[in-house]
Amino acid sequence: MGGAFLAAAVLARLGGRIGLPTIPLFILAGILLGPHTPGYTLLSNPHDLEMLSALGLVLLLFYLGLEFHMDDLKTGGRKMAIAGGTYLALNVGAGLGFGFALGWGTSEALVLAGVLGISSSAIVTKILVDLGRIGNPETRPILGIIVVEDVFLALYLAALQPILSGADSLSAMLVDGGKAFGFLLLLALAARFGTKLIGKLMNTKDDELLVISFLGAAVFVAGVSEMFGVADAIGAFMVGLMLGSTTSGERILKLVHPLRDAFGAIFFFAFGLSIDPGDLLSVFWPVLAAVVLTLAMNVAAGLAASRIYSFGAQATANIATTLVARGEFALILATMAAGAGLDKRLSPFIAGYVLLLAVLAPLAAGRSHWLARILPGGRDGRDGQDGGGKDGDKDQEQIPVSV
């Protein structure tokens, strides 16, 4: 266990020196020290980390729920909904078509729709912070698209769970789907109307008691969610959504951060342990095709978002390159697919796809001006390398960061 933490930390520190995000490096550490790679094997059985990995997944979605606020859907208004819907239509639609084109199966195609369609909020946020673009005008639609993706993710996973559970008839699938959506609706109602009561139950000045309380609530509801056919991660997300709106929300967000980082690293590391590098070669061409398709769809989505918000070429390039990262949600789907016994090529495909885009995204975002030059108006209407002109830094405090 200590070796897993240290290996992930060392590799992430080395990668951080050249500006790489931590997620692909944690996965790479697992691949290098796993049973499928020649040399020293830290863990011969990836299942040894199964419970800790599951806890990492729960905490990742719980944290995201804490940062998500229902008010975010209102402040962005109609433009945010259109931009987010357009992004999902292009990327999820392309992912579904790509999945069917591969011919691996219908369930596999539905999984690939989510893998290719949903950005990594963790990597996107890190890119915006690292490049100093928080105050840029195009940052609001970028974060708005992430919010719309989060809402879609909850519904998508709830709908996907009965399909992956292997319901043997249409009626059984409808029953499973009804149970899942019913429980999800119950959680949504609790988040909408039970905030005051939940806030009173959680309210305590003692940080120790608060940590035990929110951690117990997140893990317990995640477990109950799984019993009702809702992904455990979505149960944790809904608990985060409830607690984020309470008076203790800010304290919980601060207290859970190191837990999320630690056990999230184990989740990515454990996923790397299960990957055979030899299998990556067998899906090299599908991975490459998926990456090219994702890049093309993100440019199209960037053009659409910029048209909605009346941005220039540089802002368009910033949107397209920042949102291209794929990460934690794709790996959640890989874990669900493996548990459902789907095509064994899915895991190495998703691993290779995530690794490649997680590395390419920050590099592409930092050089987005290259893309801006070839976009419509890129040479005539030069609008500043970071899309925000000279006032980008001045606006930094005016646009709240909400993912």
Q: Which has the minimum average pLDDT: 7-21, 136-150, 160-174? A: 160-174
Average pLDDT estimate for 182-209 = 86
The architecture CATH gives domain 1-167+180-374: Up-down Bundle (1.20)
Question: In this structure, which long-range contacts are made by residues 44-48, counting pairs with CB atoms below 8 Å and at least 24 apart in sequence?
Answer: 46/270, 46/273, 46/274
Neighbours of 70 (CB within 10 A): 15
Residue 389: DSSP 8-state? G
203, amino acid identity = N
pLDDT band at 78 (very low <50, low <70, confident <90, very high): confident
Q: 1: exposed, middle or buried (C-beta count within 10 Å: 0-12, 13-18, 19+)? A: exposed
pLDDT band at 74 (very low <50, low <70, confident <90, very high): low
Contacts of 246 (CB under 8 A, 6+ apart): 195, 198, 199, 202, 203, 252
Question: Is the model's pLDDT at 362 over the cut of 90?
Answer: no
Closest listed residue to residue 185, CA positions, set 231, 140, 145, 238:
238
In tens, the pLDDT along 7-54 reads: 989 988 888 787 777 878 888 898 889 888 888 888 888 788 888 888
Angle formed at CA 395 by CA 391 and CA 401, multiple of 5 degrees: 140
Average pLDDT estimate for 131-136 = 82
23, amino acid identity = I
Residue 44: DSSP 8-state? S
Average pLDDT estimate for 85-93 = 96
287 to each of 105, 122, 258, how far by Cα in Å?
17, 22, 33
Look at residue 252 in the predicted model and tell me its pLDDT. Answer: 94
Structure tokens at 325: 């990262």
Average pLDDT estimate for 379-385 = 51
CA 127, CA 20: separation in Å to the nearest integer?
Answer: 10
Look at residue 395 in the predicted model and tell me its pLDDT. Answer: 39
Structure tokens at 305: 């978002």
In tens, the pLDDT along 315-331 reads: 999 999 999 988 778 88
Phi, psi of 43 (to 5 degrees): -135, 120
The predicted model scores a pTM of 0.73
120 to each of 61, 92, 323, 362, how far by Cα in Å?
12, 14, 8, 12
Separate counts of helices (H) and strands (E) for the chain: 18, 0
310 to each of 105, 306, 315, 384, 391, how far by Cα in Å?
41, 5, 10, 15, 17
Average pLDDT estimate for 106-111 = 93
Average pLDDT estimate for 67-88 = 76
Look at residue 373 in the predicted model and tell me its pLDDT. Answer: 92
Residue 62 CA neighbour count, 13 Å, CB half: 33
316 to each of 124, 319, 400, how far by Cα in Å?
15, 5, 21
* Cβ–Cβ < 8 Å for 191, 27: no
Q: In the chain, what are the domain boundaries? A: 1-167+180-374
